[in-house]
Amino acid sequence: MPKIILGIQVLHRNQDAVEVQKLLSEYGCFIKTRLGLHNASDDRSFCSDAGLILIEFISDAESEINEFVGKLKELGSIVVRTMEF
């Protein structure tokens, strides 16, 4: 079973973050590692509307990963890329 990592780019965080978070919670039992990245300035003058989430899944969760990705792609501003190792 390959190690599957998803890169999820959220182009409009302010608009889609709630729905993305709901899906992350729904599939949380299959997520081993989650890392969220976005641009923000130290002086709080800037916080990017775009963000990137990296997800590592547990082994043998291929069908759940496919469901998760399908639901993410239904949202308007989400780009999903898959890495396998």
- Host H or E run for residue 33: strand 31-40
- Given a contact cutoff of 8 angstroms between Cβ atoms, the answer to whether 18 and 27 are in contact is no
What is the per-residue pLDDT across 10-62, written as a single tens digit (0 to 9) for each?
998 888 989 999 999 999 999 999 999 887 777 777 778 888 999 999 988 99
What DSSP string describes 45-76? S-EEEEEEEEEEEPTT-HHHHHHHHHHHHHST
Global pTM value = 0.86
Q: Given this model, what pLDDT does residue 42 score?
A: 74
Q: Given this model, what pLDDT does residue 2 score?
A: 80
Domains of the chain: 4-84 (3.30.70.1150)
Top pLDDT among 13 and 70 is at 70
Q: Given this model, what pLDDT does residue 47 score?
A: 76
pLDDT over 80 at 1, yes or no: no
Angle in degrees, CA 54, 35, 85, rounded to 5: 40
